[in-house]
């Protein structure tokens, strides 16, 4: 994530300097920044679940009984895993079609499937981290008081 953020920041900074100081620019900078941001987000979402850095809205769950809270947590986990499964499948089909077509990115001389191949990987990582979080919450010893 740090490499993607650094690359995106440096390329954007260089592009701004080139454009406004030298009235020139890098043709590929926007596309490189866009793919870097995509990689950053797709890896970052699983990292956020692992480190529990995600936003938790507990306005409703605090008012529920512990059993109802556990059922709601199970429902949210199941829904999240279904979403991950759909995204893994859809993005794998998308990447496979890009491999079949064999076209390169618009401004970067790299096959487009290489740049978008992070999609099924990122959602697989997210599903893995969600399963880990679910195991921590629903393990036989029971959840701790503050951990969902």
The pLDDT tens digits of the residues spanning 34-73 come to 999 999 999 999 999 998 887 777 777 888 888 888 898 8
Number of domains in the chain: 1
- What is the residue range of 133's domain? 2-138
- Report pLDDT digits (tens) over 12-36: 999 999 999 998 888 899 999 999 9
Residue 48 forms part of a structural domain: yes
143, pLDDT greater than 60: no
The tokens of 56 are what? 């938790």
Give bridge partners of residue 132 from the DSSP assignment: none
Give CA–CA dist 137/148, Å, rounded.
6
Query: Please, what is the Cα angle at 39 between 75 and 26, to 5 degrees?
Result: 150
Q: What is the CA radius of gyration of the chain?
A: 20
Q: What pTM value is reported for the model? A: 0.82
Residue 147 forms part of a structural domain: no
DSSP code for 62: G
State the pLDDT confidence band at 146, using cuts at 50, 70 and 90. Answer: low
Residue 148 forms part of a structural domain: no
Residue 34 forms part of a structural domain: yes
Give bridge partners of residue 104 from the DSSP assignment: 111
């Amino acid at each position: 994530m740090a490499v993607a953020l650094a690359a995106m920041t440096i390329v954007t900074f260089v592009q701004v300097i080139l454009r406004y100081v030298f009235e020139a620019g890098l043709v590929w900078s926007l596309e490189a920044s866009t793919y870097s941001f995509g990689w950053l987000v797709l890896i970052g979402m699983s990292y956020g679940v692992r480190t529990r850095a995600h936003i938790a809205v507990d306005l409703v769950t605090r008012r529920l009984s512990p059993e109802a809270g556990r059922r709601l947590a199970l429902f949210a986990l199941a829904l999240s895993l279904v979403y991950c499964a759909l995204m893994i499948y859809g993005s794998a089909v998308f990447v496979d079609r890009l491999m079949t077509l064999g076209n390169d990115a618009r401004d970067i001389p790299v096959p487009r499937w290489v740049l978008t191949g992070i999609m099924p990987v990122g959602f697989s990582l997210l599903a893995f981290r969600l399963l880990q979080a679910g195991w921590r919450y629903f393990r036989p010893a029971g959840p701790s008081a503050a951990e969902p």
